[in-house]
Chains A and B, each alone.
Chain A
């Protein structure tokens, strides 16, 4: 199984809402990533988890809160988002942190109203 799954596929939320994005992989990968991608732009790294511990936070605002409950799951909790946070949020995993091929999920398209 070489699949990374993400739910939901689409999400519309207001600026006062709290929602969560979910990512799951069953490849035994020990690194998981969150990226944000705006239209016609490359993915921008947000967070890296290595062996279930947060190893990189690319100065992401605290309204984004990552969580890694176990080695297969990665969540991104959203609270008090701004319209400019609307984007495609991509999850990825790799066997080991860094320097390795990353496997991407299909993404969650988020619209903040």
Chain B
């Protein structure tokens, strides 16, 4: 079964606006990662947050993690047309060897 579920499934915003995507998961984790995928291409790692961290920043990205609610959010500030992509959260789950991806959010940033 899918470890991570994301919402919204799709998000359309204007350039310059902020985009927030949410991810929920079911079992305990060691870390949670966010990846970006441009149409039909490989995934690119964005950020990793460990279970003992609550917030992490990387450039225009801000990730939060709430282990009590088993949820995470990805905020992209001042979005650009080049941010148009699918964004996936991924968790390691129990055991550590498996990486399980959420359903993903498709972000459209209109110029």
Expressed in whole angstroms, the minimum distance between the Cβ of B62 and any Cβ of chain A is: 18
Which of A42, A97, A99, A103 is in CB contact (< 8 Å) with B45? Answer: A103
Residues of chain A with a CB closer than 8 A to B103's CB: 41-42
Which of B41, B99, B104, B106 is in CB contact (< 8 Å) with A102? Answer: B99
Q: Count A/B pairs, Cβ under 8 Å.
A: 58
Q: Is the CB of B92 within 8 A of A45?
A: no
Interface size on B, residues (CB 8 A): 25
Interface size on A, residues (CB 8 A): 26
Give Cα A33 to B101, complex, Å. Answer: 14
Expressed in whole angstroms, the minimum distance between the Cβ of B52 and any Cβ of chain A is: 13
Contact A98 to B92, CB < 8 A, known contacts A42-B102, A48-B98: yes
Give Cα A88 to B44, complex, Å. Answer: 15
Expressed in whole angstroms, the minimum distance between the Cβ of B85 and any Cβ of chain A is: 13
User: Which residue, A43, A44, A90, has most C-beta atoms of chain B within 10 A?
Assistant: A43
